[in-house]
Amino acid sequence: MQNSLFCLKNKRALITGSTQGIGLSLAYGLAASGAAIVLNGRNEERVRETAAKMRAEGHTVDYVVFDVTDQAAVQAGIERVEREIGPIDILINNAGIQRRAPLEDFAAESWAAILETNLSSVFYVSQAVARHMIPRGRGKIVNICSVQSLLGRPTIAPYTAAKGGVANLTKGMCADWAKYGIQANGLAPGYFATEMNRALVENEEFSAWLCKRTPANRWGKVEELQGAAIFLSSAASDFVNGQIIYVDGGMTSCV
């Protein structure tokens, strides 16, 4: 029998950027704990196909298509979910991109794209959702941060800046919205094998460095993020607010 503290039955979770990688894994994890899922992405065909696949596997799934960097589209999409699908109880801000270059050569348009997709979108979507959560007096917001919220690495300084911003925006959400019964926390993955970092996974030199640097001595598997996401989405975390939980095989614990 499932522990009721972690049960998400009768809860609806919107997950941005959820047609692949971490976002899709979190969708499956929350669905397995009973949540109704609302998938999101920019490509309608891909989102629709992902929703159909999850439904065929027995999950309750809807979807909404919008670009998280377009504030007007975000607001319209959230209003549509609340009106046509139902109230959003859980929001997971997962959408993100990565671009790499030495900082002295980093293009301004790439800087802007990373900041808009990885940081501004968290503000846009959270604000739109919180405006509905506040009158209801409850809600869970989980922002996907990163070990780069805390650490730096060459060629990804803008990503580090954005993810550091997400961590501190999470604390700001707590400061403003905890009084309304909303818990806002961050989930910070270490290095996980996903489509976005395939080049690093296939780089033997980098993988060797990663295994040596990580006490767990390996890459993470995306399903290993599900437990922390379920905790932060459930009643088990009702007095946890403004925190960043690192799921990184111990990387941030060791110098």
Contact 97, 113 (CB under 8 A): yes
The per-residue pLDDT for range 164-209, each reduced to its tens digit, is 999 999 999 999 999 999 999 999 999 998 877 888 889 999 999 9
Can you tell me the mean pLDDT for 142-147? 97
DSSP count for the chain of H helices, then E strands = 9, 7
Q: Report whether pLDDT(1) > 50.
A: no
- In the numeric block, the tokens 């671009």 are attached to 99
The per-residue pLDDT for range 216-229, each reduced to its tens digit, is 999 999 999 999 99
The per-residue pLDDT for range 94-143, each reduced to its tens digit, is 999 999 999 999 999 999 999 999 999 999 999 999 999 999 999 999 99
Spatial separation of the C-alpha atoms in residues 21 and 244, rounded to whole Å: 20
User: Could you tell me which residues are beta bridge partners of residue 61?
Assistant: 37
Phi, psi of 184 (to 5 degrees): -115, 120
Q: Report whether pLDDT(2) > 60.
A: no
Cα distances (Å, whole numbers) of residue 155 to 52, 100, 103, 112, 207: 38, 5, 6, 15, 17
In this predicted structure, what is the pLDDT of residue 200?
Answer: 86
> What percentage of the chain has pLDDT greater than the value 90?
93
Whether 124 is catalytic is no
Can you tell me the mean pLDDT for 89-94? 98
Can you tell me the mean pLDDT for 52-77? 98
Cα distances (Å, whole numbers) of residue 129 to 9, 77, 167, 237: 20, 10, 18, 19
Catalytic residue among 159, 180, 191, 246: 159
In this predicted structure, what is the pLDDT of residue 193?
Answer: 87
Please report, as a single letter, which amino acid is at residue 11.
K
In this predicted structure, what is the pLDDT of residue 107?
Answer: 98
In this predicted structure, what is the pLDDT of residue 196?
Answer: 77
Q: pLDDT averaged over the chain?
A: 96
In this predicted structure, what is the pLDDT of residue 234?
Answer: 98
- Give me the domains of the chain, ranges plus CATH numbers: 4-253 (3.40.50.720)
- In the numeric block, the tokens 């998400």 are attached to 8
- In the numeric block, the tokens 């905890």 are attached to 178
